[in-house]
């Protein structure tokens, strides 16, 4: 491998690395830092047991605690990192209401009682701190799910309007901290979603009066403390749709760091309006619903229409969070058990603009329930989607590492067929091109001609199968399609350093790869050989880079 670097630049980079190493940020990471990351979401109670057992029963219908812990999560970080994820989102960590109602126990963490105590079912403060440290030791980020819209209270059959004892909430010990009781009747009415509450007559979710500055201050002070105490890198704001919108920018500015807020709505106008006015990031529900239409209803055109609408309405698409499953929506495999369709949707979701998020169990193609205990799968690292995710994370990371503009460059559709879509992301010469099919595993074998790709006579690697193709003199890429499989292309000369198709993960730069490619062409052709050897100074190097760059 050819390595050329400017000594001065090297010292600068060295100094920056040292600074990063010595002063670990006590505050959360920024939006730009988060954009390059890829998130694995766990539900702590259902992810891993302290004793590592994979045979302990967990009856999802009963909705009780099944025993997962932060220590269990620590012990399974290899499993997460093995798929290439560099951030983990965990369930809410605060003390929840105890006991069992008709709705079950608070195993999911969404029934808060006391912000300043941790949920002892998941472990101690020290365990949580150890999890944070273990993640950072692997250069992984910790994304914390926070419930700041409501508390929880079991009324066990009695009307919440009259049967909540507010003095039990240590930080909000009176009804004045809460909105008067009313049940949300119309989720499409945002005012209703903000002023009223969900829950039922067994478990009520008293809705915090988040217009009030006393409530806001308590929530912000707590959020700052939890970020600083556990070195949290970012927050997922649960039920952001139900929070007073004007509170959100105050919260974001005061607490600091990247946050993504849950506004479950298929309508891009509404969701992007939140990004425009209130939050840096949101889970991309409009994209999620249109992926279902495209891949499961066989309407690829609908995805293109939705992308156009998201691009025109959202202010920062690469900061949005992409997913095809989370803890609330149906499992993809439950909706459709053809794993080939899941492979296509997953490929699109991982490589399209945005921060990918995979909810635990998707990699095992679990169909039954999104609350299934993951240990029942034996953490199979040979599972089809586990391996696909590791490849997709690797090519995404590699593309980011050799192209600083990759993350913020917009994905362009370059082809639409009756059952195919192709997209381009990245700078010319190092673009990732994905070709997706909605045919499913019953799809037939045929050759598809992609009209505009990498220029003429370029060798490209299809990274999901490690096969090379050469574009023809018309710059067309002729791709053998079969069984509805997705394809992902990258220039073969840019593959070194990717960790894919026989290449190790190394710190390469685009310039090095370009120079190596030129050297390779020169030595195998009749062109004059560029003098790379000793005495090759930074000035000549920079000139050459300028000459070679597009
Ligand atoms: C799970 O719990 C439900 C409700 O208690 C029960 O009906 C069902 O039989 C249980 N399933 C198993 C496999 O134990
Ligand atoms: C492992 O831990 C779980 C949950 O705490 C428990 O139910 C189970 O009996 C334990 N299994 C073994 C083999 O110790
Ligand atoms: C809760 O109980 C009240 C009073 O009995 C009743 O009017 C209301 O419909 C119940 N709500 C639900 C969600 O069941
Ligand atoms: C709530 O807590 C505050 C501070 O601990 C206390 O002064 C106040 O009396 C409590 N209010 C109620 C209704 O218990
Ligand atoms: C929306 O909900 C609010 C609060 O519940 C209610 O006052 C208002 O009438 C509703 N608007 C519509 C259009 O239904
Ligand atoms: C999306 O929401 C906007 C405004 O909230 C509304 O005007 C529009 O009709 C909605 N679109 C769809 C498809 O429902
Ligand atoms: C991994 O999966 C492949 C096919 O999916 C199978 O042939 C192979 O035996 C599996 N290996 C292990 C170690 O389970
Ligand atoms: C594939 O075709 C077979 C036979 O026609 C059919 O039974 C099966 O449901 C199809 N599979 C999918 C995923 O469409
Ligand atoms: C696709 O093209 C290749 C190369 O021209 C050819 O060998 C192959 O038979 C074609 N496949 C199909 C299914 O037509
Ligand atoms: C693909 O092409 C590159 C560059 O020509 C070559 O180094 C690599 O070995 C090829 N990979 C495969 C799988 O043929
Ligand atoms: C990749 O790294 C391993 C272990 O360091 C080494 O043995 C192997 O030769 C390397 N492979 C390539 C293609 O550089
Ligand atoms: C890449 O560079 C970074 C920062 O200089 C360093 O921490 C890391 O260990 C390097 N990785 C490899 C695989 O060399």
Which domains are present in the chain? 6-150+212-401 (3.20.20.80), 412-549 (2.60.40.1180)
Give me 327's structure tokens. 């803890």
Ligand 3 neighbourhood includes 337 CB (under 6 angstroms):
no
**The pLDDT of residue 458:** 97
174 secondary structure, DSSP code: S
Cβ of residue 51 lying under 6 Å from some atom of ligand 2: yes
- For residue 328, say whether it is annotated as part of any ligand binding site: yes
Active-site position among 262, 306, 326, 485: 262
338 is annotated as contributing to ligand binding? no
Looking at ligand 3, which residue's alpha carbon is closest to its atom 3? 159
d(CA 208, CA 224): 18
Say whether 325 is catalytic.
Answer: no
State the SS3 of 241-273: HHCCCCHHHHHHHHHCCEEEECCCCCCHHHHHH
Q: Measuring CA to CA, which residue among 142, 121, 129, 19 is closest to residue 68?
A: 121
Helix, strand, coil content of the chain in percent (nearest 5): 35, 20, 45
Candidate from 173, 174, 178 with most ligand 4 atoms within 8 A of CB, to mutate: 173
Q: Ligand 5 pocket, 189 CB below 6 A?
A: yes
C-alpha 483 – ligand 11 centre gap (Å) = 33
| Nearest CA residue ID for atom 3, ligand 6 | 269
Residue 503 CA to ligand 11 centre (angstroms): 8
Residue 26 is predicted with a pLDDT of 56
- Which residue's alpha carbon is nearest to atom 2 within ligand 8? 442
Is the C-beta atom of 229 inside 6 A of ligand 5?
no
Residue located nearest, by CA, to atom 3 of ligand 12:
507
Tell how far the Cα of 56 is from the centroid of ligand 2, in angstroms: 6
Query: What pLDDT score was predicted for residue 357?
Result: 99
Per-residue confidence (pLDDT) for residue 2, from 0 to 100: 31
Nearest ligand to the CA atom of 483: 8
How do the pLDDT tens digits run along the chain, 550 residues long? Answer: 333 333 333 333 334 333 333 344 458 999 999 999 999 999 999 999 999 999 999 999 999 999 999 999 999 999 999 999 999 999 999 999 999 999 999 999 999 999 999 999 999 999 999 999 999 999 999 999 999 999 999 999 999 999 999 999 999 999 999 999 999 999 999 999 999 999 999 999 999 999 999 999 999 999 999 999 999 999 999 999 999 999 999 999 999 999 999 999 999 999 999 999 999 999 999 999 999 999 999 999 999 999 999 999 999 999 999 999 999 999 999 999 999 999 999 999 999 999 999 999 999 999 999 999 999 999 999 999 999 999 999 999 999 999 999 999 999 999 999 999 999 999 999 999 999 999 999 999 999 999 989 999 999 999 999 999 999 999 999 999 999 999 999 999 999 999 999 999 999 999 999 999 998 887 765 433 333 333 333 333 333 333 333 3
**HSE-up (13 A, CA, CB side) for residue 64:** 8
What is the distance in A from the centroid of ligand 4 to the CA of 88? 37
Active site residue 262: yes
Which pLDDT does position 242 carry in this prediction?
98
Measured in angstroms, how far is the CA atom of residue 284 from the centroid of ligand 3? 34
Residue nearest to atom 8 of ligand 4 (CA): 173
Looking up tokens 């350093």 gives 497
Please give the number of the atom of ligand 3 that sits closest to the Cα of 201: 1
Binding site annotation covers 187? no
- Whole-number Å distance, alpha carbon 473 to ligand 8 midpoint, is 39
Q: Which of 391, 414, 308 is nearest to 343 (CA)?
A: 391
User: Does residue 504's CB lie within 6 angstroms of at least one atom of ligand 11?
Assistant: yes
DSSP 8-state assignment for residue 496? T
Ligand nearest to the CA of 1: 11
How many beta carbons lie within 10 A of that of residue 384, not counting itself? Answer: 15
Distance, CA of 535 to CA of 401 (rounded, Å) = 28
Q: Where are the alpha helices (DSSP H) in 173-267?
A: 190-195, 213-229, 247-255
Q: Is 430 annotated among the ligand-binding residues?
A: no
Q: Which residue has its alpha carbon closest to ligand 8 atom 8?
A: 442
Going by C-alpha positions, the residue among 494, 445, 489, 443 that lies closest to residue 468 is: 489
Quote the CA–CA distance of 378 and 372 in Å, as a whole number: 12
**Residue having the nearest C-alpha atom to atom 12 of ligand 4:** 173
Q: Which residue has the tokens 């490690």?
A: 466
Residue with tokens 């790869």: 513
Alpha-carbon distance values, 14 to 221, 505, 542 (Å): 36, 20, 20
Ligand at minimal distance from the CA of 5 is 12
Which of the residues 45, 105, 238, 326 is marked catalytic?
Answer: 238
347 within 8 A of 392, measured Cβ to Cβ: yes
Given this model, what pLDDT does residue 524 score? 64
Among the listed residues 178, 168, 179, 45, the one whose alpha carbon sits nearest the alpha carbon of residue 114? 168
Q: Could you tell me the sign of the dihedral formed by the alpha carbons of 449, 450, 456, 461, in that order?
A: negative
pLDDT of residue 125: 98
């Amino acid at each position: 491998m050819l390595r050329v670097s400017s000594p001065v630049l090297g010292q600068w980079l060295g100094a920056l690395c040292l600074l990063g190493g010595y002063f670990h940020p006590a505050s959360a990471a920024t939006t730009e830092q988060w954009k390059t990351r890829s998130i694995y979401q766990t539900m702590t109670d259902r992810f891993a047991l302290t004793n590592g057992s994979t045979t302990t029963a967990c009856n999802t219908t009963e909705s009780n605690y099944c025993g997962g812990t932060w220590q269990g999560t620590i012990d399974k970080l290899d499993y997460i990192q093995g798929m290439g994820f560099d951030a983990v989102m965990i369930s809410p960590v605060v003390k929840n209401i105890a006991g069992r109602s008709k709705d079950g126990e608070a195993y999911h963490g969404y029934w808060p009682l006391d912000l300043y105590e941790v949920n002892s079912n998941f472990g101690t403060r020290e365990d949580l701190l150890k999890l944070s440290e273990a993640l950072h030791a692997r250069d992984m980020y910790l994304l914390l799910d926070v419930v700041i819209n409501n508390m929880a209270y079991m009324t066990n059959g009695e009307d919440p309007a009259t049967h909540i004892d507010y003095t039990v909430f240590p930080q909000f010990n009176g009804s004045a901290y809460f909105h008067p009781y009313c049940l949300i009747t119309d989720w499409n009415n945002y005012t209703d979603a903000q002023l009223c509450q969900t829950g039922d007559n067994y478990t009520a979710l008293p809705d915090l009066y988040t217009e009030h500055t006393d409530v806001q201050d308590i929530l912000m002070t707590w959020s700052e403390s939890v970020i600083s105490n556990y070195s949290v890198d970012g927050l997922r704001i649960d039920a952001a749709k139900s929070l007073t919108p004007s509170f959100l920018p105050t919260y974001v500015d005061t607490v600091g760091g990247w946050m993504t807020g849950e506004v479950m709505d298929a309508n891009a106008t509404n969701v992007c309006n939140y990004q425009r006015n209130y939050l840096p990031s949101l889970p991309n529900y409009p994209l999620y619903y249109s992926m279902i239409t495209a891949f499961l209803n066989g309407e690829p055109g609908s995805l293109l229409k939705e992308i156009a609408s998201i691009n025109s309405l959202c202010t920062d698409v690469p900061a949005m969070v992409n997913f095809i499953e989370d803890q609330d929506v149906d499992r993809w495999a439950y909706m459709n058990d053809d794993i080939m369709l899941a492979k296509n949707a997953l490929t699109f979701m991982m490589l399209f603009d945005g921060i990918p998020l995979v909810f635990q169990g998707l990699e095992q193609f679990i169909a039954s329930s999104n609350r299934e205990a993951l240990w029942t799968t034996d953490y199979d690292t040979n599972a089809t989607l586990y391996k696909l995710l590791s490849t997709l994370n690797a090519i995404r990371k590699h593309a980011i590492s050799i192209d600083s503009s990759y993350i913020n460059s917009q994905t362009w559709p370059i082809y639409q067929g009756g059952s195919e879509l192709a997209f381009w992301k990245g700078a010319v010469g190092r673009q990732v091109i994905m070709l997706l099919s909605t045919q499913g595993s019953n799809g037939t074998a045929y050759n598809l001609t992609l009209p505009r790709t990498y220029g003429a006579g370029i060798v490209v690697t299809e990274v999901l199968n490690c096969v090379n193709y050469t574009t023809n003199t018309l710059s067309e890429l002729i791709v053998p399609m079969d069984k509805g499989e997705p394809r992902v292309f990258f220039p073969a000369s840019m593959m070194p350093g990717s960790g894919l198709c026989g290449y190790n993960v190394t710190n390469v730069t685009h310039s090095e790869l370009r120079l190596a490619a030129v050297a390779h062409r020169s030595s195998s052709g009749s062109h004059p050989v560029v003098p790379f050897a000793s005495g090759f100074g930074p000035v000549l190097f920079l000139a050459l880079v300028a000459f070679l760059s597009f």
